[in-house]
Structure 1
Amino acid sequence: MSAIDAPNQFIETNGRRLAYRSIGEGKPIVLCTRFRGNLDCWDPAFLDALAAAGFRVITFDYSGLGLSTGTASYNPFVMVNDPRDLIEVLSLRDVVIAGWSLGGIVAQVFVAQHAAHVSHAVLFGTTPPGPIVKPAEPLFFTTAGREVNDFEDEVILFFEPRSAESRAAARRSADRIAGRTSGRSPAVPVEFARANLAGDPSAPIFPALPVLAALRATTVPILHVGGDHDIIFPVENWYALNQSLPTVQLLTYPSAGHGPHHQHPEATAEHIATFVRTTARKPAAAL
């Protein structure tokens, strides 16, 4: 079964219904989606490549959004309950927790709060916690808050508009995502999204020093996959923490933006598979 025709499935837990999809067999990887994201915002080629690499690939809608019920929130310390409950109800073990953008923040909170449940963490186009050295570009906020994002908006938000190769990859990715025609997840309401956009683009979006402290002490191997021109979460903020995050590896694609795994779906899946296969948790005393 491919991502394009994976059936919608549901669990009932803690007073709400969570929608999810699952493809592949093997080590579970649970993917937390981006701002304004739902089940249908992941590139099927990326999900299929993960499945082909030996993962059980699980995507889901956050509470109160898409096909899930409950109360919607974009507070990562609330959102983290969704992957936690999904992992518990599905009896998953030794999980790779992964997340894109806002979902990458959720994944970091998960590592800080529930490290015993995960073997690895994979982050895409997200920000580290704490102070930052390079702020977001205002263009992201004006584009992300539009009622409907057309193809050109998606190029701005997730790719590198100055690169012909990145633009071509954006077109291919958009066509693949549009390939699912039934059972699609409803869009995140624009009013909800706008209400959660930062008022000050220069302010750090994830000023969570306890999470930063947890990442400095964790034994969970972490891989961040970024683009060299991410207009919302510049990858430079990760490099500024070199030598202070003992388990973090950084992979940065050239001429790429906020959605590097959509520009390079197969390569990113292979990098993740190699990372998980060759990198193990270290004893705490070794850090």
Structure 2
Amino acid sequence: MSTTPDVDSPSLSAVTRFADLQNRRLAYRRFGSGKPIVLCVRFRGTMDSWDPLFLDSLAAKGFEVVIFDYSGLGQSTGDRTYNPAALARDAIELIGALELGRVIIGGWSIGGIAAQIVLAQAPQIVSHAVLIATTPPGPLVKAGEPLFYTLAKRENDFEDFVSLFFEPTSTESRAAAEEASLRLAARTSDVSPEVPYTWAGDQLGEGPRNPAFPAPQVLQALLAASIPIIHIGGDHDIVFPVENWYALNGQLPSLHLVTFPRSGHGPQLQFPQASAAHIAAFLA
């Protein structure tokens, strides 16, 4: 099975467009056809932080994929912030501006927190939620590791990339990291500027928090939700340990859990095609 994007990769050939919203322009790309899935990206991420093979695999499964840069980051204008409510507002307003109707809301890391807020605030526009390597709201059974706060506040090399998103002790995971890094570098034009790590680090705080996402109203919305939710995680996520989702397994009525072995905070980077296949099976 190929581990590189097709020559005719829909994600790599997608052009950046702009949606004019109140006081800002959001940069976005859309490709594929079918049920729309809107993906909110990770901390320090832009549209180009999504693995092209993961995105192309979603498109091949019959989804219209929409990715975007948050306000003030990447190619978007406006005030920049990592307040999750503001990130969720970006997603909600973009969905409205593009007239997407009911969507699958997805998100990775802090984007997964934003996706949960979208579900809580605007359930009428959400059919399913796809959460990747993120945290549930409320008290945690296991906090993240201090290592993340070191790596997130500096310019990252390949070893940092492995430590953040993969399992450094696994030969297979390291090999997957090498392949993923090549795929992420495949887009060479119309690339979103990187998020300044100095600014991002200032937003982060000094170390792991418990809860990481103190939002009782969102937790109540999830507990009451009839909207199907899937969480895709790695078994050694230094940012948002997957154990916290398993602790809610008996409480969230529509929660599906997929955990990949010997993997970290980027399960869809290590297993791009398998992640897309799990999402497609969940939605079916």
- TM-score of the two chains, using structure 2 as the length reference: 0.96
3-state SS of 1:80 partner: helix
**Which of 19, 22, 33 is 1:14 aligned to?**
22
CA distance in 2, matches of 1:201, 1:268: 27
Q: How far apart are 1:204 and its partner, in Å?
A: 2.2
| 2:219 equivalent in structure 1 | 212
Q: How far apart are 1:201 and its partner, in Å?
A: 1.6
Q: How far apart are 1:202 and its partner, in Å?
A: 4.1
Say whether 1:110 aligns with 2:118.
Answer: yes
Cα shift readout 1:7-35 (whole Å, capped 9, x = no counterpart): 11101011210000111011000000000
| 2:252 equivalent in structure 1 | 245
- Percent same amino acid among aligned pairs? 58
**8 A contact 1:226–1:257 mirrored in 2:** yes
- TM-score of the two chains, using structure 1 as the length reference: 0.95
**8 A contact 2:45–2:195 mirrored in 1:** yes
Cα shift readout 1:40-77 (whole Å, capped 9, x = no counterpart): 10000000000000000000000000000001110111
3-state SS of 1:271 partner: helix
**Which of 30, 43, 46 is 1:38 aligned to?**
46
**8 A contact 2:152–2:197 mirrored in 1:** no
CA distance in 2, matches of 1:263, 1:42: 12
Moved over 2 A (4+): none
CA distance in 1, matches of 2:15, 2:230: 29
Query: In the TM superposition, what are the counterparts of 1:1-287 in structure 2 within 5 Å?
Result: 2-146=10-154, 148-277=155-284
Give the alignment's Cα RMSD to 1 decimal. Answer: 0.9
**8 A contact 2:46–2:69 mirrored in 1:** yes
**Which AA in structure 2 matches 1:189?**
P
Q: How far apart are 1:191 and its partner, in Å?
A: 2.3
Cα shift readout 1:125-161 (whole Å, capped 9, x = no counterpart): 0000000010111111101111x11111010000000
3-state SS of 2:70 partner: coil
**8 A contact 2:88–2:114 mirrored in 1:** yes
Cα shift readout 1:199-224 (whole Å, capped 9, x = no counterpart): 23243220111111110001110000
CA distance in 2, matches of 1:174, 1:270: 21
**Which AA in structure 2 matches 1:169?**
A
3-state SS of 2:122 partner: helix
**Which AA in structure 1 matches 2:55?**
L
Cα shift readout 1:167-196 (whole Å, capped 9, x = no counterpart): 111110110010100010001112220111
3-state SS of 1:243 partner: coil
3-state SS of 1:36 partner: coil
How many pairs are equivalent? 276
CA distance in 2, matches of 1:2, 1:152: 29
| 1:281 equivalent in structure 2 | none
CA distance in 2, matches of 1:180, 1:157: 22
Cα shift readout 1:100-149 (whole Å, capped 9, x = no counterpart): 00000000000000111010000000000000010111111101111x11
